[in-house]
Amino acid sequence: MKKLLPGLLLVLACSFGARAQAVAPLGVWADDTGESHIEIFRCGETLCGRLVWQQQPQESNTGRPKADTRNPDPEKRGQPLHNLTVLQGLRYNAATERWEDGQIYDPHNGRTYSCYVSLVSKDKLELKGYIGFSLIGRSHYWLRIK
């Protein structure tokens, strides 16, 4: 029995790691407004997301690419929204089967919220943004872009 225990622990550890990878919401997702697509990708030990498509990528009055004009950091207000990292720091929690402790940046208002992501199905995810407690927040449902 003593010889089986280390092997069993190794198998269990590997299966949890495989499960975390199996449920990772990697890929491109359309937000619930249909105005943006966000690519979720691995960035080290966490997941991040960047804005890869916008329904209106240019300013209507100038024709220039839209910039992050509402960023609280004045030095970042000129950076383009295209490829802007808007989601970061998500870590998988096997107990809740979701990616937690992340942050999402909303370029519409320049605010950053705590968030978590969970897969509702293979092609639908729930992203919940909140301030303070996740009970007091708002859920958004994104659909996978194929």
Delineate the domains of the chain, giving CATH numbers in brackets.
25-144 (2.40.128.520)
Mean pLDDT of 79-102: 97
φ/ψ (deg, to 5) at 74: -55, -30
Average pLDDT, the chain: 87
Of the CA atoms within 13 Å of residue 103, those in its CB half-sphere come to 9
Sign of CA dihedral 113, 115, 120, 121: positive
In the predicted structure, residue 97 carries a pLDDT above the cut 60: yes
Mean pLDDT of 8-31: 61
6-15, 27-36, 51-60: least confident range: 6-15
| pLDDT of amino acid 3 | 54
In the predicted structure, residue 32 carries a pLDDT above the cut 90: yes
When comparing pLDDT for 4 and 139, which is higher? 139
How would residue 146 be classed by pLDDT, with cut points 50, 70 and 90? confident
pTM as predicted? 0.82
| pLDDT of amino acid 14 | 42
What is the share, in percent, of the chain residues with pLDDT greater than 90? 75
How would residue 68 be classed by pLDDT, with cut points 50, 70 and 90? very high
C-alpha pair distances (Å), 41 with each of 49, 52, 77, 85: 6, 12, 24, 11
CB 92 within 8 A of CB 20: yes
